[in-house]
Amino acid sequence: MPPRKAKRRLEDGDAAADTATRGKGPPPVLPSDGISRFVRMGAWAAMVSGVALVVSMVLAWLVVPYERLGLTDAYLTTSYSVSSGLRLLGLVLLLWGLIGIYAPQSRAAGTFGLWTFVFVFLGTALAVGNVWAEVFVYPTLAQIAPGMLSGAGFETEAAYMSTGLSISYPLFFLGLILFAAATFWTRVYPRWIALLLVISVPVTMFLDPTAGTFQESIGPALWGFAFAAYGFYAFLRRGRSTPST
């Protein structure tokens, strides 16, 4: 074939290709998946959750007037409402935050990590119910039946609710330990965070639980700080799932 005819045939082919693709333009840019964005934002939820829990316990220790007014009257103060409200916000956001924390280590954690995540997620949901009672039920009882809030009265007249409260937190604490163990072995996050989370559980369970004391506040503040740290490192990883050294 003469060179001139071959060149013309190539030009005709290019023109046909241009005609076929004319008007289509570049492929549309699809928005990022909403579920993926939700999971990534879980890192922020974990950080806000941890900060809210720490601030809540500092307020309970330094601001809420438990010693001056007594337990029942303290439930009716604005400072108690702010402190318990932050605690409720922190635990509600922790449900979201756990998803953001678990996602970067989901492959490395394997089956054990999956079930520890499920366990701590359900335990946190139970703990949310406990704190919801602190925000809405306890102040109501302080107004209409203050005698029920005393130790003996609560155990006898509200025995059913007391049983639920006594079950929820131990399950939550067991979930924290299992989840910390999974994050410790996968090494996706710094191991000191898992150790801090484990230490915070016996501190919460066995130190003086009297409302408004430093001993009562330090345990929840520690696991609040641990989850804020988890959220910070989950944010830094931005979806990577390789173990850290």
Kindly state the tokens that stand for 233: 């490192």
Kindly state the tokens that stand for 22: 């004319």
Q: Write the DSSP assignment of 32-94 as a string of letters.
A: PPHHHHHHHHHHHHHHHHHHHHHHHHHHHHHTS-HHHH-HHHHTTSHHHHHHHHHHHHHHHHH
User: What digits encode the pLDDT tens for the residues 214-227?
Assistant: 999 999 999 999 99
- The percentage of residues in the chain with a pLDDT greater than 90, rounded to a whole number, is 65
The model's pTM is 0.81
Inform me whether the pLDDT recorded for 86 exceeds 90: yes
Rounded mean pLDDT, 194-217 = 93
User: What digits encode the pLDDT tens for the residues 89-146?
Assistant: 999 999 999 999 999 999 999 999 999 999 999 999 999 999 999 999 999 988 988 8
For 16, other C-beta atoms within 10 Å of its C-beta total 10
Query: In the chain, where are the structural domains located?
Result: 36-237
User: What digits encode the pLDDT tens for the residues 168-197?
Assistant: 999 999 999 999 999 999 999 999 999 999
List phi, psi (to 5°) of 130. Answer: -60, -45
